[in-house]
Structure 1
Amino acid sequence: MLLRMKEVNRLRVLQGYLDGKIEIEDAARTLKRTARSVYRMVAKLRENGPEGVLHGNRNRVSPKRVPDSVRKKLIELALGRYRDINDSHLGEILSETEGIVLGRETLRGILRKGGIAPKRKVKRRKYRSRRERKESFGMLLQVDASPHDWLEGRGPWLALVGGIDDATGYAWVHFEEAETTWGYLDLMGEVFRTHGVPLSLYADRHSIFHTTREPTIIEQLKDIVPLTQFGRAMDELGISIIKAWTPQAKGRIERLWGTFQDRLVVVLRLAGANTLEQAREVLKRFLKQHNKRFCVLPKKVQAVFRKAPPKAVLHQILCIKETRVVKKDHTVSFEGLVLQIPPSKKYPCMADGKVDVREYRDGHIEIVYRDCVEMAA
C-alpha cells in the first residue's frame, strides 16, 4: 500500500489523537473537518489499520469508465478506416456513423493511451498582435489557393481555390486542376452571382494578383500602374486588392486550408471520390455544412456588398483582355495566333487602330473595335 503525502499527514494526526497527544477539537481543526467526521476516520483506522485513511474510491474502477470493448474498437477504427483524423473531427464522425458518443478529452485520453499520436504537433508560437475582424459582411475577402493531394493518391493533385469573408468566415471554394487566373475569375463570378461585389480583396504576392513587370515609359508618364488580368478585372469592378506580405497576414484563409486539409480529405476518402468532378460534388455538400457550422455574426448586420453588374457585362469583364494594334493587312497577333479581321461596312479600314482581343472561359475569342464586335471565333 502506497500512501500519498496528504494521507500520511492524516494518519499522523489521527494516531496523535489515539495516543492521547492531541484533543479531538485540535485534530478536527488540523484536518479541516468536523469532530464527527474525525470520529468516523478514527473508527475506520481502528478497523482497517493504516488503509483506513484511504478514500473509499481508491483503486476502484469508475462506473462511468468507457468499457474495454469500446476502447479496443476505437483504437482499431483510429488505426484503420478513420486514420489520420484529428481528435475533434474523429469524435464527430464516431457519433454520426458509429453511434459512439464521447467527449473530446475522453477520446483524446484513449487514443494517447493506445499509442496513437495527435495528428498535429504543437509548434512554438511567435508573438503576433491581433487584428480585429472587419465589421461588415463583404467589406474584405481573403483569397488564396491550396494545391494539395486532396484525393490521397486516388486521383490527380488538385488546387482548392477559395475566398473567405473576414467579418463572418463565410467561404466560397471550388476545385480546379491548378491555381490559375481562370480559377480566380470563376471564384469571383460565383461571389458576384450569389452575394454581390465586395469592397476589397486581401491576397498574397502571387503574379496572378500583382504583376512582376516594371511599368513602361508611357505608363510612367500617365501614372498608370500595370495590372494583371485578374487585377484589371477587379479594377473595372471597383474592387481594390490589398497585398499581404506574409502568410500570417491572411491567417484566416490559411487556417481555412488547414481545416479543409484535415476534414475535407477525410470526407472525400469516405465518399470514394477519385476524379475532379466527384470531388466537386462532395465539396458542395461539405461547404454548405462548413459555412453553417463555422460562420459567425458580423458586428454590423447590414452587408456592404454592392449590386453586381448585369450578366452580360460581367461576362465581358471576367475574361482575358489584351489591347492590340491592327496591322496593314487587318490582322492581329494573340497567344501565338494570327487573327484575320473580316471587312466591316461600319469601319472599312481599321489599320493601325487599337482593338481589344477578348478570350472567354469557353475558349472563344472576340475582337472589339470601338465597342463593336468585329470578329468572333
Structure 2
Amino acid sequence: MNETKKYKVIKAVAEKKKQKVRASIELNLSIRQINRLVKAYKEKGKIAFAHKNRGIKHKNAVPDHVKQQIITIYQQFKVRPNVKHFTEILREEYDISYSDTTIRHILYQEKILSPKSQRKTRKRIQKLIRQEAGKTKQPEQNLLVPLAEDQLELPEKVHPSRPRMKYKGELIQMDASSYNWFGNEVTHLHLAIDDASGNIVGAYFDTQESLKGYYHVLNQILTNQGIPLAFLTDKRTVFEYKKKQTNAVEEDTLTQFGFACHQLGIELKTSSIPQAKGRIERLNGTVQSRLPIELELAGINCIDEANKFLRQWLLKFNRQFGNKTSEAIYEKSPTKSEINLLLARVAHRQVDSGHHIRYQNNFYLPTEGSDDKYFTRRTKALIIEAFNGDIYVNIAEKIYTTRRLDSHERYSEEFDTMPETKKERRKYIPPQSHPWKLESFKRYLRRIDRTIEDYEAEKTA
C-alpha cells in the first residue's frame, strides 16, 4: 500500500500534475527526498518503489529445516500445548529459542491451530483452508445496523470482574478439576489458589473429588502458609450440609471439612456461580493446558508419582505466574500433631458380637496402654480416623487407641516355631557425678548458690 501510494504521488509530480510541496505533505517526506524519488522514477520507472529486500530471504529468518523440526515436535504431542507453553518446551528440551510470535506464525502457516487460539483466528485459518480447497463462500451482508440497547446484559446476569484481594491469605479459592491428566483414566486434581498473589497454595490428585483430596490441600496450606481468613468454593456435597441421600456421617462432609474450618477460625463461603470464583476457574483451564504435557514429558502414569511431581512443579508455576503481592495475613500454623487431629474423619459405629468395631472393611479392638478393652455388643462408638491414618475410638466419655484384627495368624502353633523375643535392655542414664557431667553440673549449682556437697547430702538424706 505504501509503495503504490508513493508511486502514484511521484508519478503525478513527474508529469507536472502535482507540486512537490503537496507531495511532501502527503508522503510526510522532505523536498529533498521528493527530488530523489522523482529522479529514481525517471531512471527506473515503477520498479524504483519496490522494497530492495523483496524476494530475498532475511539472514535472521528461521531456517526451513528448523521450521520442519518445530512442526514435527508439535505434532508428536498427544495433548497439544498452547504456543506460549510450547515455546518454553522448545527452549528447555530442544534448545530452540524463538519468540512465541515466531512459533505461532510457523504453526499458523501450516494451518495448525493452538488449543488456546481465539475465535477470530480459528475463523481466519478455516477460511484459508476452504479457499485452498476451492470452497469459498460469499460473505452474507448484514443489512441491519446493530443498536447499543441490543447489546446490554440483564442486571441479574451480570458478574463484573473485581480486583484481587490486597493481602495473601485473605481469600483462598478451591475447586477440583476432572480431566484425563495422565494414562487412560480420568482423575481429579484438587486445587487452591490465593486470590491476592495468584499462587497455587495446594494441589492433590485423587480418583474422585473427595474429602480426602481437600484435606490434603488444606494440610499443604496450613503447613506451608498458615491459617487463611476465608475459603471460597462451589456448592458441591464436599461442602454442603446433608445433601447426599445417605445417613452415613463420613459421607456428610461438611461435618468433617466444615468443622475443621470452624475449629481453625476459617470462614467457609460457597457459590454456585462460576464467575464468582473466576480465579480458580481460569486456573483450571491454564493447568489443563500445561500440566498434562509436563506429566507426559516426565513419563508419569500413576497418582502417587503425579502427587510427588506436583511439589516441584508448583514452585516453578508460582515463580512464573504468581507472587503478585508479598503482604500476607496468614496466622501461625498449627503443630503437626494438632493438624493431624483437626483433619480427622469421624463415623458412627457399633461394637459387634466379637467385641470389635468394623471400619473401612477392617476390624478394630479398643485398647488402653497394652490392655485390650472388650465392650458389650451394640455399644455405640465414634470412630476417629486421624489425618495420618491412625484409628481412635470414642466410647462414652473416653477415647481409646485401637489394634487392628489380623486377617490370619502370623504364626501357627502347630507348624511354626515361635520367634524368640529378646528382653529389651534398660537404657543406662549416667548420674550427675559422672566425669562427663560433673563440671557442667557444678557450674549449674554455683548459679543457684549451692555446692556439690549440699547435693550429695540431700541425696543420701
Same fold by TM (over 0.5)? yes
**1:133 match:** 164
Report the CA distance shift for 1:371/1:106 in structure 2 as closer, same or farther (over 3 A).
farther
Deviates more, 1:239-248 or 1:304-313: 304-313
Cα shift at 1:27? 3.9
* Match for residue 181 of structure 1 among 211, 225, 229: 211
Show CA shifts across 1:19-73 (max 9, x none).
Answer: 3444444443444322221221122112212222333334443333222121111
**1:14 match:** 10
**2:35 match:** 39
Report the CA distance shift for 1:373/1:129 in structure 2 as closer, same or farther (over 3 A).
same
SS at match of 1:315: helix
**1:306 match:** 331
Show CA shifts across 1:247-299 (max 9, x none).
Answer: 2221212222222211111111111112222222322221111112211333x
Report the CA distance shift for 1:59/1:333 in structure 2 as closer, same or farther (over 3 A).
closer
Report the CA distance shift for 1:333/1:106 in structure 2 as closer, same or farther (over 3 A).
closer
SS at match of 2:204: strand
Distance 1:309 1:21 in 2: 87
**1:157 match:** 186
> Which residues of 2 match residues 277-316 of structure 1 at below 5 A?
277-298=304-325, 301=327, 303-316=328-341
**What RMSD in Å do the two structures reach over aligned CA positions?**
3.6
Larger radius of gyration: 2
Deviates more, 1:266-275 or 1:315-324: 315-324
SS at match of 1:130: coil
**1:66 match:** 62
**2:76 match:** 80
SS at match of 2:223: helix
Cα shift at 1:362? 5.4
SS at match of 2:118: coil
Show CA shifts across 1:185-213 (max 9, x none).
Answer: 12212221222211111111111111134
* Match for residue 144 of structure 1 among 161, 175, 179: 175
- Which amino acid letter does the alignment assign opposite residue 182 of structure 2? L
1:240 matched to 2:240? The reply is: no
Tell me, yes or no, if the aligned pair for 1:133 and 1:167 is still in contact at 8 Å.
yes
Distance 2:374 2:14 in 1: 121
Deviates more, 1:259-268 or 1:51-60: 51-60
* Match for residue 195 of structure 2 among 166, 177, 198: 166
Report the CA distance shift for 1:19/1:101 in structure 2 as closer, same or farther (over 3 A).
same
Distance 2:51 2:285 in 1: 46
Report the CA distance shift for 1:29/1:251 in structure 2 as closer, same or farther (over 3 A).
closer
- Which amino acid letter does the alignment assign opposite residue 237 of structure 1? L
Deviates more, 1:272-281 or 1:332-341: 332-341
**1:259 match:** 286
Report the CA distance shift for 1:249/1:40 in structure 2 as closer, same or farther (over 3 A).
same
- Which amino acid letter does the alignment assign opposite residue 193 of structure 2? I
Distance 2:374 2:20 in 1: 118
Q: Normalised by the size of structure 2, how large is the TM-score?
A: 0.67
Give the number of the structure with larger relative contact order, counting CA–CA contacts within 8 Å between residues 6 or more apart. Answer: 1
**1:360 match:** 386
**1:220 match:** none
SS at match of 1:175: strand
**1:372 match:** 398
Q: Which runs of 5+ in 2 are unaligned?
A: 121-152, 245-252, 404-461
- Which amino acid letter does the alignment assign opposite residue 281 of structure 1? K
Distance 1:9 1:310 in 2: 76
Tell me, yes or no, if the aligned pair for 1:168 and 1:297 is still in contact at 8 Å.
yes
Distance 1:230 1:168 in 2: 24
Report the CA distance shift for 1:9/1:276 in structure 2 as closer, same or farther (over 3 A).
closer
Cα shift at 1:376? 2.1
Report the CA distance shift for 1:375/1:37 in structure 2 as closer, same or farther (over 3 A).
closer
SS at match of 1:307: coil
SS at match of 2:13: helix
Report the CA distance shift for 1:52/1:228 in structure 2 as closer, same or farther (over 3 A).
same
Deviates more, 1:258-267 or 1:12-21: 12-21
Tell me, yes or no, if the aligned pair for 1:145 and 1:160 is still in contact at 8 Å.
yes
**1:222 match:** none
**1:219 match:** none
Tell me, yes or no, if the aligned pair for 2:365 and 2:374 is still in contact at 8 Å.
no
1:276 matched to 2:303? The reply is: yes
Distance 1:18 1:138 in 2: 73
Tell me, yes or no, if the aligned pair for 2:235 and 2:270 is still in contact at 8 Å.
yes
SS at match of 1:280: helix
Tell me, yes or no, if the aligned pair for 1:77 and 1:83 is still in contact at 8 Å.
no
Cα shift at 1:359? 2.3
* Match for residue 199 of structure 1 among 214, 229, 234: 229
Distance 1:350 1:275 in 2: 44
User: Percent identity among equivalent residues?
Assistant: 28
Tell me, yes or no, if the aligned pair for 2:350 and 2:379 is still in contact at 8 Å.
yes
Report the CA distance shift for 1:117/1:152 in structure 2 as closer, same or farther (over 3 A).
farther
Deviates more, 1:102-111 or 1:178-187: 178-187
Tell me, yes or no, if the aligned pair for 1:207 and 1:228 is still in contact at 8 Å.
no
SS at match of 1:174: strand
Cα shift at 1:94? 0.8
